[in-house]
Amino acid sequence: MEFKDFAELCSLLDSKSGRIEMTDIIAGFLSKIPRETLSIACYFIGGEVFPIWQGVELGIAGKLMIKALSDVSGVEDEEIEKLIRDKGDAGLVAEQILVKKTQTTLFQETLTLEKVYDNLSKAAVLEGKGAQEKRLSYVQELLSNAGPLESRYLVRLVLGELRLGVGDGIIRDAIAKAFNVDVDLVERAYQLTSDLGEVAKTANTGGNEKLKEVSLVPMRPVKVMLAQKAEGLEETLAEFSPAAFEVKYDGARIQIHKDRKQIELYTRRLENVTKQFPEIVKSSMENINAESAIIEGEVVAIKSFEDRKPRPFQDLSRRIKRKYDISQMVKKIPVEVNLFDLIYINGESKLETPFRERRKLLEEAVSATESFRLSEQMVTDNAEQADEFYEHAISLGHEGVMIKNLDAPYQPGSRVGYMYKLKPVMESLDLIIIGAIWGEGKRAHWLASLLLSVYDPARGEFLEIGRLGTGLTDEQFQEMTELLKPLVVEEKGQEVKIKPKVVVEVAYEEIQHSPTYSSGYALRFPRLVRIRNDKGPLDTDTMERIEELMRK
Which distant-in-sequence residues (6+ apart) come within 8 Å of 31 by Cβ?
A: 178, 179
| Candidate list 177, 201, 248, 499, residue with the active-site label | 248
Q: Which positions ≥6 away from 127 have C-beta within 8 Å?
A: none
What is the SS3 assignment for 90-110?
A: HHHHHHHHCCCCCCCCCCCCC
Distance of CA 196 to the CA centre of its chain: 14
R_g of the chain computed on alpha carbons: 24
- How far is residue 215's CA from residue 221's CA, in Å, rounded to a whole number? 11
The closest of 225, 228, 227, 226 to 192, measured between CA atoms, is 225
**Residue 534 and residue 253 in contact, taking contact as beta carbons nearer than 8 Å:** yes
* First CA to last CA distance, the chain: 50
Residue pair 422/485 in contact (Cβ under 8 Å)? The answer is no
Q: How far apart are CA 155 and CA 146, in angstroms?
A: 10
For residues 518 and 545, the answer to whether their CB atoms sit within 8 Å is: no
Whether 248 is a known active-site residue: answer yes
Whether the Cβ atoms of residue 184 and residue 190 lie closer than 8 Å to each other: no
SS3 69: helix
- Closest by alpha carbon to 165, among 461, 415, 371? 461
For the annotated catalytic residues, the residue numbers are 248
